[in-house]
Structure 1
Amino acid sequence: MAGDGTIEKVSIIISKGSLEGVYPGLIMANGARAEGIEANLFFTFFGLDAIHERRWERVRLATVGNPGLHLPTWVGALPGVSALMTRYMARRMDRLDIPPVPEFVEMIADTGAGLYACQASVDLFGYRREDFIGQVKDIITVGEFYDLAAGGQIIFT
């Protein structure tokens, strides 16, 4: 933070691979960049889906056990419910000009935000650098993330 209390840098951790897990971090990063705040996104565990070349277009809404949907767990588990709710949310977000995950990630990267994959999670899932979209700056360790985040705010979504 600057001496006047303004935030100059944020580092956002995205650990979930569902719509409701990915969008808060993307929205926070986009808002930071719009305000001229340096932003870095650290994708770990299932959050890697948002930057994975074959998965980022298929991020879905989690319907099983999602209390925000106000659906019984068994309804969320029915075949097709996740796809239906994902399409419903996509239409609502489109009306608000909230882009789909791939477009939003590209847009944020184009503003100069840093996109980083977690080395431990990449190793855990057996991924390689080639598995990720081109906008990913690097695959880094947690220690490197802390170095990158030094002097700023860390947000865990």
Structure 2
Amino acid sequence: MTQVVSPLVVDDVAEPKPRQKRIALVASKGTLDQAYPPLILASTAASLGWEAGIYFTFYGLDILHKERFEKLKVSSLANPSGPIQLPNILGAVPGATAAATKVMRKWMSDSRMPTVPEFLEMTRDLGVQFFACATTMGVMGVEEKDLIEGSDIAGAAAFLDYAAEADVTLFV
């Protein structure tokens, strides 16, 4: 006697989910004007459902540093597109950095942009990963207790593994 086996119903097979997109960013500058680009890109990516991570290295660690992230400044020296247009020689004049920083903070406030501490909290709440460069921490004497909550310590090799799986990798 022959037994008939019912054919496989294709509709019952689940389609594989598309892989979540990933962005990997490197933040190496710890100035007010350089803190915003990686935070804007990472929070936008996370809002779009992407996985996002920022690797903070060298002076970029100041963005994660509890005692420094509220005091980030804008240098008018060698910053031709900065908030105050000055020849480089005048950028070294006492008070030029404070004036440029004040102008940028006002621009950000007037455009309803969050402060860097607020942006970090918002970005972290969106699930963005913050990686603090272990090597730079050692060089600059930064300890884990100095970093904001939610910061992971990662060496270059660990971040490279993370970035190797990224759809977008930027050094901003």
**8 Å contact kept, 1:118–1:142:** yes
Aligned to 2:39: 26
Aligned to 1:141: 155
Distance in structure 1 (CA, Å) of the matches to 2:20 and 2:129 = 17
Q: Gaps (5+ residues) in structure 1?
A: 1-5
Of 46, 58, 61, 1:48 maps to 61
Superposed CA RMSD: 1.5
**8 Å contact kept, 2:76–2:96:** yes
* SS of aligned partner of 1:40: strand
Give the counterpart letter for 1:23 in structure 2.
Y
Distance in structure 1 (CA, Å) of the matches to 2:95 and 2:125 = 34
Per-residue CA deviation, residues 44-85 of structure 1 (Å, 9 max, x unaligned), is 000000000110000111211112133111221111111111
**8 Å contact kept, 1:106–1:135:** no
**8 Å contact kept, 1:17–1:46:** yes
1:20 to partner: Cα distance: 2.2
1:150 to partner: Cα distance: 2.7
- Higher-Rg member (1/2): 2
Aligned to 1:3: none
Could you list the runs of 4 or more consecutive aligned residues of structure 1 that deviate by over 4 angstroms after TM superposition?
A: none
Q: Gaps (5+ residues) in structure 2?
A: 1-18
Distance in structure 2 (CA, Å) of the matches to 1:78 and 1:57 = 23
Give TM-score, length-normalised by structure 2: 0.83
1:7 to partner: Cα distance: 7.7
**8 Å contact kept, 2:78–2:88:** yes
Aligned residues: 151
1:149 to partner: Cα distance: 2.1
CA pair 8-51 structure 1, distance change in 2 beyond 3 A: same
* SS of aligned partner of 1:66: coil
Q: Percent identity?
A: 36
Per-residue CA deviation, residues 78-136 of structure 1 (Å, 9 max, x unaligned), is 11111111111111111222111111111100110001100111011011101111121
Give the structure with the higher percent helix.
Answer: 1
Give TM-score, length-normalised by structure 1: 0.91
